[in-house]
Amino acid sequence: MNKKKLPLALWIFVGLVVGIVAGLLLMNANVGGMAGKDFALGYIKPWGDIFLNLLKFVVVPIVLFSIASGVISMQDVSKVSAVGGKTVVYYMCTTAFAVVLALILASVAKGAGLFAALKTTGLEYTPPEGQSIMTTIVNIFPSNAVQPLANATMLQVIVISLLLGFGVMLAGERGLVAAQVIDSFNEVFMKIMDLIIKLSPIGVACLICPVVAENGPKILRDLVAVLVVAYVGYIIHALLVYSSTVKLLGGLSPLAFFKGMAPAMMMAFSSASSVGTLPFNMECSERLGARREITSFVLPLGATINMDGTAIYQGVCAVFIATAYGIDLTVGQMVTIVLTATLASIGTAGVPGAGMVMLAMVLQSVNVPVEGIALVAGIDRIFDMGRTTVNITGDAACAIIVSKLEDKKEARSKAVLK
């Protein structure tokens, strides 16, 4: 009698629960003369880091070969342009909506007295160096072919893979061998990805445990209001925007969409890494009906430029920090936040903590003291888990919608030809 195997999503959920429970138990425990929190950070977190490292190792080759393979499989430069155009428009519109939603929710919370001026003297925070929009645009294009791959500079890797795909496509028959090599490498790294994904329940448990042990309810108590507002924004955006767009443009039931996305969403929540979750996202999207060549193009691009969750985090935190300093943001400043957050999402790395860089840029754009980031820095990881989950869910929604729109376009073309 064959025993039915439990689905991976269930195992990941089990890993998530085990990690949370272990973290709570270790908060005030003593393990071999060592504080439970130190034990979690010193002996449990490294196993989660190993899992995350393996995911990061496979991401660059997957992005490089899958995008190139996706471009080649389209066999038409104009088709790539059409898919890319739809993708960027969807990403920019949803990100702008996310920031507006966050500002509305944060303003309501402020009006309700949930956000108040705090004693902010003595705050010290040195933000990472920000970049101008033009510098970001220039840095998209690599000066050599090796450095972006070694440093995992994702936008440059995407440009390299696009150029590689276009080159093979334009070479015609002479590019057939290169196309076969790219396709072969793509398949090999997909299999490696499958092997790594099987370790995900253990990886998820080891990643979430130290986060709970280190932060616990104590840190949540101080900033529970701003966390609740941010997570309300995450949930509303996911349920409202993704449900409606997937249903109207993708023809997919919202319930089926979120059920199918469960493994990727749980991985995103525990790892707080859009790039690390990319393999899971590709698998879930394809199971929900997205075409392989579309996911190979749309998802790696989304992991780099689509930051809806991060945009919500920035909007909420900007109002919270401004309030803490006794600053009332004007309508003009809020418009500036929307524009800055939307544009700043391009080029932000899909790794844990990257949202802090963008938040520094947003605060500077409206003359709010950047030192205020210290107010939320202690629980940034908790914000990060939710915003990453929203980010990758938006990527998948886009892949499904673009696939459906391309299917309709091809059906119309065939009908005209008949």
Q: Answer with the residue of higher pLDDT: 133 or 25.
A: 25
Considering only CA atoms, which of 12, 98, 21 is closest in space to residue 337?
Answer: 98
Helix (H) or strand (E) holding 30: strand 30-31
Residue 331 has pLDDT above 90, yes or no: no
Residue 3 has pLDDT above 90, yes or no: no
Q: Answer with the residue of higher pLDDT: 212 or 253.
A: 253
The pLDDT value given to residue 2 = 45
This prediction's pTM = 0.71
Distance CA 15, CA 150 (A): 31
The pLDDT value given to residue 332 = 80
- What average pLDDT does the chain have? 81
State which of 1-5, 149-153, 237-241 shows the largest mean pLDDT. 237-241
State which of 80-89, 161-170, 232-241, 360-369 shows the largest mean pLDDT. 232-241
The pLDDT value given to residue 122 = 45
The pLDDT value given to residue 125 = 43
CB atoms within 10 A of CB 69: 26
pLDDT digits (tens, 9 = 90+) for 194-233: 888 788 889 888 887 887 787 676 545 557 888 899 999 9
Percent residues over pLDDT 90 in the chain: 21
CA 392 to chain CA centroid, Å, is: 5
CA 108 to chain CA centroid, Å, is: 27
Residue type, 33: G
The pLDDT value given to residue 117 = 67
DSSP state of 371: G
Question: 51-60, 66-75, 88-97, 303-312: which range is least confident on average?
Answer: 66-75
Q: Are the C-beta atoms of 289 and 400 separated by less than 8 Å?
A: yes
Residue 346 has pLDDT above 60, yes or no: no
Using a 10 angstrom Cβ sphere, with 0-12 exposed, 13-18 middle and 19 or more buried, the burial of residue 131 is middle
CB atoms within 10 A of CB 232: 17
Question: 9-13, 68-72, 325-329, 340-344: which range is least confident on average?
Answer: 340-344
pLDDT digits (tens, 9 = 90+) for 366-395: 778 776 776 676 677 788 889 889 999 999
